[in-house]
Amino acid sequence: MNGISERELEDYLCEHSELLQFDRFYVPEELFEESEVTIIGRQVVVEHGIIDLLTYCAATYPCVSVIELKTKPLQEKDVGQLLRYMWDIRGMLDFAHNSPTPAQVVEGFDELSSLREEMFWHIFQDQSFVQGVLIGPSIRSPIAAACQAADIEVCLYEVADERIELTDYRPSLVPAIIDERLSSKLHQTIYNYVFNQIDHYIDSELGRIIKQTSECADDR
Protein backbone atom coordinates (compact mmCIF):
# COMPACT_ATOMS: atom_id res chain seq x y z
CA MET A 1 0.00 0.00 0.00
CA ASN A 2 3.05 2.26 -0.10
CA GLY A 3 2.66 5.23 -2.41
CA ILE A 4 -1.12 5.13 -2.09
CA SER A 5 -3.42 7.40 -4.06
CA GLU A 6 -5.95 9.77 -2.51
CA ARG A 7 -8.72 7.41 -3.64
CA GLU A 8 -7.09 4.47 -1.85
CA LEU A 9 -6.62 6.60 1.27
CA GLU A 10 -10.26 7.67 1.10
CA ASP A 11 -11.45 4.07 0.62
CA TYR A 12 -9.43 2.86 3.59
CA LEU A 13 -10.68 5.58 5.93
CA CYS A 14 -14.28 4.91 4.92
CA GLU A 15 -13.80 1.21 5.62
CA HIS A 16 -12.20 2.03 8.98
CA SER A 17 -14.32 5.01 9.95
CA GLU A 18 -13.40 4.61 13.63
CA LEU A 19 -10.12 6.33 12.71
CA LEU A 20 -12.16 9.45 11.96
CA GLN A 21 -13.36 9.95 15.54
CA PHE A 22 -10.99 12.84 16.11
CA ASP A 23 -11.92 13.62 19.70
CA ARG A 24 -9.83 10.58 20.69
CA PHE A 25 -6.79 12.80 20.22
CA TYR A 26 -7.69 15.33 22.89
CA VAL A 27 -10.29 13.81 25.23
CA PRO A 28 -8.66 12.22 28.32
CA GLU A 29 -8.55 8.44 28.01
CA GLU A 30 -10.75 7.92 31.07
CA LEU A 31 -13.46 10.15 29.53
CA PHE A 32 -13.20 8.95 25.94
CA GLU A 33 -16.14 6.99 24.56
CA GLU A 34 -16.19 5.33 21.18
CA SER A 35 -18.99 6.57 18.99
CA GLU A 36 -20.15 5.73 15.49
CA VAL A 37 -18.74 7.93 12.74
CA THR A 38 -21.20 8.39 9.89
CA ILE A 39 -19.90 9.07 6.42
CA ILE A 40 -22.34 11.73 5.20
CA GLY A 41 -20.77 11.92 1.77
CA ARG A 42 -17.69 11.35 -0.37
CA GLN A 43 -16.55 13.81 -3.02
CA VAL A 44 -19.30 16.22 -1.98
CA VAL A 45 -19.67 19.13 -4.39
CA VAL A 46 -20.05 22.52 -2.70
CA GLU A 47 -19.76 26.10 -3.91
CA HIS A 48 -15.97 26.29 -3.68
CA GLY A 49 -14.99 22.80 -4.80
CA ILE A 50 -15.30 19.16 -3.83
CA ILE A 51 -14.99 17.94 -0.24
CA ASP A 52 -13.16 14.59 -0.01
CA LEU A 53 -15.05 13.37 3.05
CA LEU A 54 -17.91 14.81 5.06
CA THR A 55 -18.56 12.94 8.32
CA TYR A 56 -20.71 13.21 11.42
CA CYS A 57 -20.01 12.08 14.96
CA ALA A 58 -21.90 12.90 18.16
CA ALA A 59 -19.32 11.64 20.65
CA THR A 60 -18.07 14.52 22.82
CA TYR A 61 -20.33 16.97 20.97
CA PRO A 62 -22.29 16.86 17.67
CA CYS A 63 -19.65 17.50 15.04
CA VAL A 64 -19.59 17.65 11.25
CA SER A 65 -16.03 17.10 10.00
CA VAL A 66 -14.94 18.54 6.67
CA ILE A 67 -11.98 16.37 5.70
CA GLU A 68 -9.39 17.11 3.02
CA LEU A 69 -7.02 14.29 2.05
CA LYS A 70 -3.55 14.75 0.58
CA THR A 71 -0.89 12.20 -0.33
CA LYS A 72 1.80 14.89 -0.64
CA PRO A 73 3.16 17.11 2.17
CA LEU A 74 0.47 19.52 3.35
CA GLN A 75 0.83 23.04 1.96
CA GLU A 76 -0.50 26.54 2.60
CA LYS A 77 -2.98 26.29 -0.27
CA ASP A 78 -4.52 23.23 1.41
CA VAL A 79 -5.36 25.34 4.46
CA GLY A 80 -7.16 27.94 2.33
CA GLN A 81 -8.96 25.22 0.38
CA LEU A 82 -10.28 23.60 3.57
CA LEU A 83 -11.36 26.93 5.08
CA ARG A 84 -13.47 27.63 1.98
CA TYR A 85 -15.15 24.23 2.28
CA MET A 86 -15.84 24.85 5.97
CA TRP A 87 -17.42 28.17 5.03
CA ASP A 88 -19.70 26.39 2.56
CA ILE A 89 -20.86 23.83 5.13
CA ARG A 90 -21.43 26.51 7.77
CA GLY A 91 -23.58 28.33 5.23
CA MET A 92 -25.62 25.17 4.76
CA LEU A 93 -26.00 24.82 8.52
CA ASP A 94 -27.24 28.40 8.80
CA PHE A 95 -29.70 27.79 5.98
CA ALA A 96 -30.92 24.54 7.55
CA HIS A 97 -31.51 26.11 10.95
CA ASN A 98 -33.95 28.52 9.31
CA SER A 99 -35.75 25.87 7.22
CA PRO A 100 -38.94 24.34 8.59
CA THR A 101 -38.70 21.01 6.76
CA PRO A 102 -35.94 18.59 5.72
CA ALA A 103 -37.16 18.72 2.13
CA GLN A 104 -36.45 22.44 1.93
CA VAL A 105 -32.93 21.89 3.24
CA VAL A 106 -32.07 19.33 0.58
CA GLU A 107 -33.91 21.26 -2.13
CA GLY A 108 -31.89 24.33 -1.26
CA PHE A 109 -28.65 22.46 -1.99
CA ASP A 110 -28.99 20.29 -5.08
CA GLU A 111 -25.39 19.12 -4.78
CA LEU A 112 -26.29 17.36 -1.52
CA SER A 113 -29.60 15.91 -2.66
CA SER A 114 -28.08 12.42 -2.86
CA LEU A 115 -27.55 12.38 0.91
CA ARG A 116 -30.09 10.67 3.11
CA GLU A 117 -32.63 13.32 3.96
CA GLU A 118 -33.27 12.08 7.52
CA MET A 119 -29.56 12.05 8.41
CA PHE A 120 -29.06 15.47 6.84
CA TRP A 121 -31.89 16.95 8.89
CA HIS A 122 -30.83 15.21 12.10
CA ILE A 123 -27.32 16.61 11.82
CA PHE A 124 -28.48 20.16 11.25
CA GLN A 125 -31.04 19.99 14.03
CA ASP A 126 -28.18 19.18 16.41
CA GLN A 127 -26.64 22.61 15.83
CA SER A 128 -23.46 20.74 14.96
CA PHE A 129 -19.99 22.18 15.27
CA VAL A 130 -18.08 22.28 11.96
CA GLN A 131 -14.55 20.91 12.25
CA GLY A 132 -11.92 21.16 9.54
CA VAL A 133 -9.44 18.29 9.22
CA LEU A 134 -6.37 18.03 7.01
CA ILE A 135 -4.89 14.56 6.56
CA GLY A 136 -1.53 14.08 4.87
CA PRO A 137 1.85 12.34 5.18
CA SER A 138 3.79 15.31 6.56
CA ILE A 139 3.62 19.02 7.31
CA ARG A 140 6.10 21.85 7.83
CA SER A 141 6.03 23.78 11.08
CA PRO A 142 4.79 27.12 9.59
CA ILE A 143 1.85 25.37 7.91
CA ALA A 144 1.03 23.51 11.13
CA ALA A 145 1.08 26.81 13.03
CA ALA A 146 -1.39 28.31 10.54
CA CYS A 147 -3.66 25.29 10.99
CA GLN A 148 -3.59 25.62 14.75
CA ALA A 149 -4.37 29.34 14.54
CA ALA A 150 -7.35 28.52 12.28
CA ASP A 151 -8.44 25.71 14.62
CA ILE A 152 -7.92 23.06 11.94
CA GLU A 153 -7.15 19.52 13.06
CA VAL A 154 -4.04 18.06 11.40
CA CYS A 155 -3.59 14.29 11.19
CA LEU A 156 -0.56 12.62 9.68
CA TYR A 157 -0.87 9.13 8.26
CA GLU A 158 1.61 6.28 8.06
CA VAL A 159 1.29 3.16 5.93
CA ALA A 160 2.61 -0.11 7.35
CA ASP A 161 1.73 -3.74 6.69
CA GLU A 162 -1.31 -2.88 4.59
CA ARG A 163 -2.62 -0.68 7.39
CA ILE A 164 -2.95 3.08 7.75
CA GLU A 165 -2.50 4.78 11.12
CA LEU A 166 -3.47 8.36 11.87
CA THR A 167 -1.61 10.43 14.43
CA ASP A 168 -2.55 13.85 15.75
CA TYR A 169 -0.08 16.64 15.03
CA ARG A 170 0.07 19.86 17.02
CA PRO A 171 3.04 22.23 16.82
CA SER A 172 4.61 23.53 19.98
CA LEU A 173 3.56 27.07 20.80
CA VAL A 174 7.25 27.81 21.36
CA PRO A 175 9.57 26.41 18.65
CA ALA A 176 12.19 24.01 19.99
CA ILE A 177 14.95 25.93 18.19
CA ILE A 178 14.80 29.70 18.24
CA ASP A 179 17.45 32.31 17.67
CA GLU A 180 18.20 33.97 21.01
CA ARG A 181 18.67 37.35 19.41
CA LEU A 182 15.32 37.06 17.63
CA SER A 183 13.65 36.08 20.89
CA SER A 184 15.25 39.05 22.65
CA LYS A 185 14.12 41.44 19.89
CA LEU A 186 10.59 40.05 20.06
CA HIS A 187 10.42 40.54 23.81
CA GLN A 188 11.76 44.09 23.43
CA THR A 189 9.20 44.87 20.74
CA ILE A 190 6.34 43.63 22.93
CA TYR A 191 7.75 45.47 25.94
CA ASN A 192 7.98 48.74 23.99
CA TYR A 193 4.45 48.33 22.61
CA VAL A 194 2.91 47.66 26.03
CA PHE A 195 4.62 50.59 27.68
CA ASN A 196 3.78 52.91 24.79
CA GLN A 197 0.14 51.93 25.25
CA ILE A 198 0.40 52.58 29.00
CA ASP A 199 2.01 55.99 28.40
CA HIS A 200 -0.69 56.85 25.88
CA TYR A 201 -3.42 55.84 28.35
CA ILE A 202 -1.85 57.86 31.20
CA ASP A 203 -1.47 60.93 28.96
CA SER A 204 -5.09 60.73 27.80
CA GLU A 205 -6.39 60.23 31.34
CA LEU A 206 -4.29 63.10 32.66
CA GLY A 207 -5.57 65.27 29.84
CA ARG A 208 -9.16 64.33 30.67
CA ILE A 209 -8.66 65.05 34.40
CA ILE A 210 -6.98 68.41 33.73
CA LYS A 211 -9.79 69.37 31.38
CA GLN A 212 -12.46 68.41 33.92
CA THR A 213 -10.62 70.31 36.67
CA SER A 214 -10.36 73.38 34.46
CA GLU A 215 -14.09 73.22 33.58
CA CYS A 216 -15.01 72.93 37.26
CA ALA A 217 -12.85 75.94 38.13
CA ASP A 218 -14.54 78.00 35.37
CA ASP A 219 -17.98 77.05 36.69
CA ARG A 220 -17.08 78.48 40.06
Please state the pTM of the whole predicted model.
0.67
CB of 124 closer than 8 Å to CB of 108: no
- If asked whether residues 125 and 214 sit together in one domain, one would say no
Q: Quick one: pLDDT band at residue 168, thresholds 50, 70, 90?
A: confident
pLDDT of 114 > 50? The answer is no
Residue range of the domain that includes 135: 6-168
The pLDDT score that the predictor gives to residue 37 is 83
- If asked whether residues 145 and 189 sit together in one domain, one would say no
How many CA atoms, within 13 angstroms, populate the side-chain half-sphere of residue 22?
24
pLDDT of 201 > 80? The answer is no
- Residue 1 is assigned to a structural domain of this protein: no
How many structural domains is the chain composed of?
A: 2
CB of 13 closer than 8 Å to CB of 71: no
pLDDT of 158 > 50? The answer is yes
- If asked whether residues 123 and 156 sit together in one domain, one would say yes
Buried b (16+ CB within 10 A) or exposed e, 112-148: beebeeeebbbbbeeebebbbbbbbeebeeebbbbbb
pLDDT of 188 > 90? The answer is no
- If asked whether residues 17 and 122 sit together in one domain, one would say yes
pLDDT of 6 > 80? The answer is yes
Residue 44 to residue 40: CA distance in whole angstroms? 9
- If asked whether residues 114 and 198 sit together in one domain, one would say no
Q: What average pLDDT does this structure show over 163-171?
A: 79
- Residue 98 is assigned to a structural domain of this protein: yes
- If asked whether residues 95 and 193 sit together in one domain, one would say no
Looking at 8-22, 34-48, 133-147, 200-214, which range is the least confident one? Answer: 200-214
- pLDDT tens-digit series, residues 45-56: 888 889 999 988
- If asked whether residues 36 and 114 sit together in one domain, one would say yes
What CATH number does residue 133 fall under?
Answer: 3.40.1350.10
- Residue 91 is assigned to a structural domain of this protein: yes
